[in-house]
Chains A and B, each alone.
Chain A
Amino acid sequence: MSETILSIRDLKVNYGGIEAVKGISFDVPKGDIVTLIGANGAGKSSTLRAIVGLVKPKSGVIAFEGENIAGKDTTNIVSRGITLVPEGRRIFPDLTVYENLRVGAYMRSDDIAPDVNWVYELFPRLKERSWQPGGTLSGGEQQMLAVGRALMSRPKLMMMDEPSLGLAPLIVRDIFSIIKEINKRGVTILLIEQNANMALSTADTGYVLETGRITMSGAGKELLVNEAVKAAYLGT
């Protein structure tokens, strides 16, 4: 049994006046890839936004490295080593690729050059385009930049909100293989996806979220062959 980096207990989150997350509990073991899958509106994004402090949870405990961070402000949470690659990538279009990476390291005051080099190694395309404004990149390249930018803060836990959304299948495969590579470097990953197939085959553990509740959980490979999951999310 490995150490737990993030532990959620009975988390409730409101979104637009309704309870989007209705009391969920799950653990993210250190060094693992964990995925939350579920349909649109199941409460996946609200969960991540509550963890990183963009919305205040209604109740519940979010323990990161043993300390409850529920309701703390985003700067505080980010400084502890949590980062979120937001849905829709949200790179800064007017900033160059390099500046986007620099912004990602905003809270650091040490030398960022080794991290920039690592990101350029992971994504050679970004190196070629380092002086181009982020807005001129293709969707796939923007996703790479969003991931690279998140890595610049040297996160312990990287959360990703629908990284495959709107990308061509080939690029999705690339992104997921890089997620595994990042994970091998010791970054714990919490991934939410509608692309259940890709997510479950990558993850160590998966949770299925339905209308704000966790209805199933298990090893990624097990859920992948689970009949109920197959019927609902894998379309087979």
Chain B
Amino acid sequence: MLDFLHANLSYILSGISVGGQYALIAIGYTMVYGILRLINFAHGDVFMCAGLMMVYLSATLPVTVTIPLVLVMTVVLGFLIERAAYKPLRTAPRMSVMISAIGISYLLQNAALYFTGGLAKVYPSIPWLSQTVTIWGSTTKMVTVVTPVLTLVLVILLSLLIKYTKVGMAMRAVSKDFETSRLMGIQINTVISVTFVIGSFLAAVGSMLYFTNYASVTPVSGSMPGLKCFVAAVFGGIGSIPGAVIGAFIIGIAENIIKGGSSIFGFGGSGWTTFSDAFTFALLIIILVVKPTGLFGEKSTDKA
């Protein structure tokens, strides 16, 4: 067992790292779903936009300025999307909001296509994160080590916020019952905005870690990670934050172990890599068939 771990450490490490990056994105899906019962299809594209903002801003500004600036701008983007495209549809059928989300997704992709001319943009290297480190014989970037730690710290902070603060309590109340929350004097729209702000912030952090690993951003860079994180959220039980985090780590690790298939399973050569994405979606189908509510999902997903 130890030999197996040692031999495949690099895959497992990068799996944990990617898992952490997925977790940061998946939380945005699951929180928005928890409150609005909306699958925010634009979330992956917000993540991509955070990547592009970093590319363009770091061309003229130092990294110490761009990092906070990208965080703030992504939060503003998430906030504005909610206000412009979802809030006016608050009383509309849920399907309308979903279509609006798909519209925003394509709008962001096309805007990105316009600005980039469709070319892959090289992601700036964030000095400390891009350093290489050696752990137990495996060489990897610092970001691989930083990601799971940072992810756990952020998840713990988020859990504390939800459990102990007034706005966290309001979020839990609103996610159960809009009308009664209004009767308590809670401003529903403020709570929903806070949810989008938190989700976008985490997606921006995720984008910095993710693109440091992958080195380039294209207009469709948000699609695949977005979809996988959505699967992670469904796998964990959409609406549940711990579920999304665990689902994201499982998908990240499994995906990378499959990529390392040739050395792990001892056959198949590099051919396994091709199937790493397929695995994620096979998992989605299996979960939907066997346990549609996911690992930690509630039984009923509909609000009265």
Contact = CB atoms under 8 A, between A and B. Distances in A.
Nearest to A89: B180
A104 B170 CA distance: 11
A95 interface: yes
Interface of A: 52, 54, 74-75, 78-79, 83-84, 86, 90, 92-95, 99, 102-104, 106-107, 149, 153
Interface of B: 166, 169-170, 172-173, 176-177, 179-187
Contact of B185 (A54, A93, A95, A107): A107
A40 B181 CA distance: 25
B185 A94 contact: no
A92 B172 contact: yes
B176 A104 contact: no
Contact of B187 (A75, A84, A90, A95): A75
A184 B31 CA distance: 44
A106 B191 CA distance: 13
Contacts of A102: 169
B179 A103 contact: no
Nearest to A149: B184
B176 A103 contact: no
Contact of B173 (A84, A92, A107): A92
B173 A103 contact: yes
Contact of B179 (A54, A75, A83, A149): A54
Nearest to B298: A94
A104 B185 CA distance: 8
Nearest to A100: B173
A191 B210 CA distance: 58
A86 B179 CA distance: 10
Nearest to A105: B184
- In the A-B complex, the 5 residue pairs with the smallest Cβ-Cβ separation, listed nearest first, are A107-B185, A78-B185, A90-B180, A74-B182, A106-B184
Contacts of A99: 169, 172
B170 A92 contact: no
